[in-house]
Structures are given as structure tokens and as C-alpha cells.
Amino acid sequence: QPGIEEKPPNKRPKKPKCKTIHEAVKTGNIKQLDEIVTFGVSVNEVDPVYKFTPLHWAAHSGSLECLHWLLWHGADQTAVTVRGWTAAHLAAIRGQDACMQALHLNAVNLGLPDDLGCTPAHLAATHGHSFTLQTILRSGVGQTKKSKWSPQVCKGSLLFI
């Protein structure tokens, strides 16, 4: 019909190319992640704005497939942000249960404290993520010594990104 534009069949718009490894991880684009690393970018490249590694972004955004890929390709599990957060801290803050389980299954330490002494368990509890907290506690992480933690200490750990 005149005036009605038809789209060609089987033509889907292409996903936009990610400019950085962090963008690929945040959008869960595993193909782009692989291409970027094959091109020579480090799996531990630090984001210039937020100071997160790709593993931090995977845990933050819930990009489970990217998180697995990064761990399998040697991402630094112990890398911390300027606040002392590991990927486990970010998964706890954001309530990313599947990412927390994956971190545990890949032998990531879920009990490390951040700069304020808050562990991922403290942050999951503070942010109301009961399933994530349950995942952490079931992993065997427990208090081996008396903690100075209180909800007030972790109150300043809110993440608005």
C-alpha cells in the first residue's frame, strides 16, 4: 500500500557495539566481551569513572554469564574498589543471588570486610536481600571472631549507580 513502509523480512537491528569491556559486561554481551579481550584488553581493566573492574560490573549488574566468563579467564577475584568492595560486596548490595552463588562456587572469599569492616553478609542484610544473605550463610561464611559491625556502620555503604 502506498504510504506504508514495509520492513524487510528477517532483518533485525544489530546490537550496538560496546566501546569498552565494562560496557560489554554491564549489558551482558558475552560475544563483545570475548572480542574485546581477544583484541588485548585486560580482564582486570579498571573503569576510569567508578574504579570497578569488569568482575565488579558483572556482579553489580547481574551479568551471570559474563561473571563466569571473567572468572574462567583469570579475572582477579580479590580486586577491590576505592571503598574496599570485592565483587561479592557488590553482589550483596544489589541482591544478585545467582552471582553470589557463582562467586561461592568459584571459591571467592565471601567473608572479606570492606574499609568500614562490613562483609558481604552485613551488606546483604543491611540492604534487605534475604536470599543473597542466605546464599552467603549457606556457603559456610561465619563469624569466627566477635565483630564490631552494626547497621550504622554499613549505613554509609549505599550504592546509587
Q: How confident is the model at residue 159 (pLDDT cuts 50, 70, 90)?
A: very low
Indicate the domain borders of the chain. Answer: 21-139
Question: Considering just the CA atoms, what is the radius of gyration of the chain in Å?
Answer: 19
Average pLDDT (66-79) is 97
Q: Are 75 and 44 in contact (CB under 8 A)?
A: yes
How many residues in the chain?
161
Q: Calculate the average pLDDT of the chain.
A: 87
Q: How confident is the model at residue 61 (pLDDT cuts 50, 70, 90)?
A: very high
Q: How confident is the model at residue 18 (pLDDT cuts 50, 70, 90)?
A: confident
Domain at 21-139: CATH architecture: Alpha Horseshoe (1.25)
Half-sphere exposure of 13 (CA within 13 A, CB side): 3
Is the confidence at residue 68, as pLDDT, over 70? yes
The reported pLDDT for the residue numbered 161 is 38
